[in-house]
């Protein structure tokens, strides 16, 4: 600075090193107190630049020379060194939504150098190369992040931000399908991220599915028509989505009804199941013998068993992979009744019949039986007869057999050899057992001298030890029984004892 004769000092405002960011000029001002001014650029006068201000428009060194009005003294200011830098225009590019934890930036570089930084977000970020406008970044957790791209050109800087939302990518799993023995099925998707929705992709004609909650992974799906359906489980998390499908076959569950059982009094029966859906078949599940089915697939199959007893039969219906069964009990009671062997009995005598095979009995005809409702009644027939036995078992089944009893007219007399006609009403008359069945026979009584004391044809056990109204004395007398057509003569002695 040269001030030979002036106390006025040239001062430039601003001065020194001046960086200009993205403007066309900077206003330089000289201090007052000078009569005239001359601006210089890089030491060379700028033509016409003689006011106390100057707009600097180029990069370089600016000074001014101030001259006083007295004595022509002058002073030169310290220079203002102007550097004009272009102002960066930061462009962070496009943000967006990611279906993972990674993102590649797309900043547009302008001037100077740039750098990426995390401005905000729920987690931390790792950059691959922060000064690259197309750097890649990885974040620690899902959410919305704001990243800043800052560019610096000397003292000039600019920045821009970009917003990136990181969403978890759903991995849809529709679960397992299979077979439903019903018109409803509990779906079993595995929910991962975002919101899920069920929809029907295919099914039988007119088949429609209703959901208890279409957005629930375990929704209950109910169909209007049985058949095979394909469902889609779609998960959406922001713009991220994934889907999976599952196939289900709905079968109507059979309602097996084996019908009514029975108590059969033979070895045959006709089953009576009520078919529902699918195909059915019979099987024997219990019984002492074996069973022959006329048609095991027919609900009304006839059956024949090998022996009596209690049998259980199962009617099983199968529809696809769905099945149901019902059991029915049939009791076969082939009652075997035995009335006993044929026999004979002397006229006037009795025989005990021997029925067996049942729990209750009924004999016919009844006039000559002492009890019609027992197994072994006493029969006293007068003529040859066939007795019919009807027996009933515990199941109510009947069985019939018969026995023939031949009545023998063999004159099987049983003659009493003592009588005591003393008026005590005991043994007061002479008794001949069975004589009343032979009315054609003649009974005669003689004393020991052969004198006829009594005779009667058709004796009725009424001789009281008298003869012609006279009481015979105690002693032994003799009888003869003479029957027409019988060559044998029945004779013997009888003793009268009154005391």
Strands laid side by side in the 195-202 sheet: 178-180, 240-250, 227-237, 195-202
**How far is the C-alpha of 139 from the C-alpha of 126, rounded, in Å?**
6
Task: Name the strand (E) or helix (H) holding 460.
Answer: none
- What ranges make up the beta strands (E) of 429-489? 432-433, 442-446, 452-457, 466-467, 470-471, 475-482
Count the alpha carbons within 13 Å of 451 in the hemisphere toward its beta carbon: 7
CATH for the stretch 96-166: 2.60.40.10
How crowded is residue 307: how many other Cβ atoms within 10 Å of its Cβ?
Answer: 12
What is residue 131's DSSP assignment?
Answer: T
Kindly give, in sequence order, each residue whose CB lies less than 8 Å from that of residue 90, ignoring residues fewer than 6 positions away: 107, 110, 114, 149, 150, 151, 158, 159, 160
Instruction: From residue 408, give the alpha-carbon distance in Å to each of 330, 367, 402.
Output: 48, 18, 19
Mean pLDDT for all residues in the chain: 90
- The residue extents of the domains of the chain are 12-85, 96-166, 178-250, 262-332, 343-408, 414-496
Same fold, 12-85 and 178-250: yes
What is residue 435's DSSP assignment?
Answer: G
Mapping DSSP to helix (H, G, I), strand (E, B) and coil, where does residue 461 land? Answer: coil
Cα angle at 8 between 7 and 14, to 5 degrees? 145
What is residue 112's DSSP assignment?
Answer: S
Q: Does domain 343-408 have CATH number 2.60.40.10?
A: yes
Quick one: tokens of 484?
A: 């027409």
Let me know: does 350 contact 380? Beta carbons within 8 Å. yes
Let me know: does 427 contact 447? Beta carbons within 8 Å. no
**How far is the C-alpha of 91 from the C-alpha of 134, rounded, in Å?**
12
Q: Would you state the pLDDT for residue 4?
A: 39
CATH topology of domain 12-85: Immunoglobulin-like (2.60.40)
**How far is the C-alpha of 445 from the C-alpha of 461, rounded, in Å?**
13
The CATH architecture of the domain made up of 262-332 is: Sandwich (2.60)
CATH topology of domain 414-496: Immunoglobulin-like (2.60.40)
**How far is the C-alpha of 15 from the C-alpha of 156, rounded, in Å?**
19
**Ranges of residues in the chain whose predicted pLDDT is under 70:** 1-8, 10, 19-20, 22-24, 70-74, 77-82, 84
Residue 485, sorted as left (phi over 0), alpha (psi -120 to 50) or beta, turns out to be left
Q: Which of 268, 165, 177, 194 is nearest to 228 (CA)?
A: 177
Q: Which residue has the tokens 């990518």?
A: 169
Report yes or no on whether pTM surpasses 0.75: no
Q: Which of 288, 311, 376, 287 is nearest to 339 (CA)?
A: 376
Q: Would you state the pLDDT for residue 8?
A: 64
The CATH number corresponding to 178-250 among 3.30.450.20, 2.60.40.10, 2.30.40.10, 3.50.50.60 equals 2.60.40.10
**How far is the C-alpha of 126 from the C-alpha of 102, rounded, in Å?**
10
């Amino acid at each position: 600075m040269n001030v030979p004769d002036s106390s006025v000092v040239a001062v430039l405002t601003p001065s020194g090193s001046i960086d200009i960011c993205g403007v066309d000029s900077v206003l330089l001002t000289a201090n007052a107190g000078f009569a005239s001014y001359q601006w210089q650029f890089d030491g060379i006068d700028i033509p016409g630049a003689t006011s106390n201000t100057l707009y600097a428009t180029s990069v370089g060194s600016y000074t001014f020379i101030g001259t006083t009005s007295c004595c022509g003294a002058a002073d030169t200011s310290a220079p203002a060194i102007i550097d004009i830098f272009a102002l960066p225009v930061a462009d962070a590019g496009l943000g967006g939504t990611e279906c993972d934890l990674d993102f590649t930036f797309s900043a547009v570089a302008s001037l100077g150098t740039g750098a990426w930084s995390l401005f905000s977000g729920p987690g931390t970020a790792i950059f691959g190369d922060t000064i690259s406008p197309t750097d890649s970044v990885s974040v620690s957790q899902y959410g919305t992040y704001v990243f800043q791209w800052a560019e610096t050109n000397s003292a000039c800087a600019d920045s821009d931000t970009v917003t990136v939302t990181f969403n978890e990518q759903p991995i849809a799993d529709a679960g397992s399908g299979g077979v439903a023995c019903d018109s409803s099925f509990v779906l079993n998707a595995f929910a991962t991220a975002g919101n899920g929705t069920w929809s029907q992709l295919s099914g039988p004609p007119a088949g429609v599915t209703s959901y208890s909650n279409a957005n629930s992974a375990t929704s209950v799906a109910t169909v209007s028509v049985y058949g095979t359906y394909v469902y889609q489980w779609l998960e959406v998390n922001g713009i991220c989505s994934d889907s999976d499908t599952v196939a289900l076959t709905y079968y109507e569950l059979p309602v097996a009804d084996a019908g009514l059982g029975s108590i059969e009094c033979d070895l045959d029966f006709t089953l009576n199941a009520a078919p529902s859906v699918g195909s059915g078949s019979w099987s024997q599940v219990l019984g002492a013998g074996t069973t022959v089915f006329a048609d095991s697939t027919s609900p009304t199959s006839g059956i024949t068993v090998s022996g009596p007893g209690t049998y259980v039969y199962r009617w099983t219906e199968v529809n696809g992979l769905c099945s149901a069964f019902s059991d029915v009990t049939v009791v076969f009671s082939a009652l075997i009744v035995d009335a006993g062997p044929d026999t004979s009995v002397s006229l006037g005598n009795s025989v005990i019949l021997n029925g067996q095979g049942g729990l209750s009995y009924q004999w016919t005809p009844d006039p000559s039986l002492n009890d019609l409702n027992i197994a072994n009644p006493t029969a006293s027939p007068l003529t040859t007869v066939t007795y019919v036995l009807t027996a009933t078992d515990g199941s109510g089944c009947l069985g019939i057999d018969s026995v023939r009893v031949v009545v023998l007219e063999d004159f099987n007399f049983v003659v009493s050899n003592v009588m005591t006609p003393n008026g005590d009403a005991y043994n007061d008359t002479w008794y001949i057992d069975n004589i009343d069945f032979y009315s054609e026979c003649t009974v005669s009584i003689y004393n020991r001298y052969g004198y006829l004391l009594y005779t009667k044809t058709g004796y009725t056990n009424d001789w009281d030890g008298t003869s012609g109204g006279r009481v015979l004395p105690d002693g032994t007398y003799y009888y003869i029984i003479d029957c027409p057509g019988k060559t044998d003569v029945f004779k013997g002695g009888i003793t009268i004892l009154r005391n």
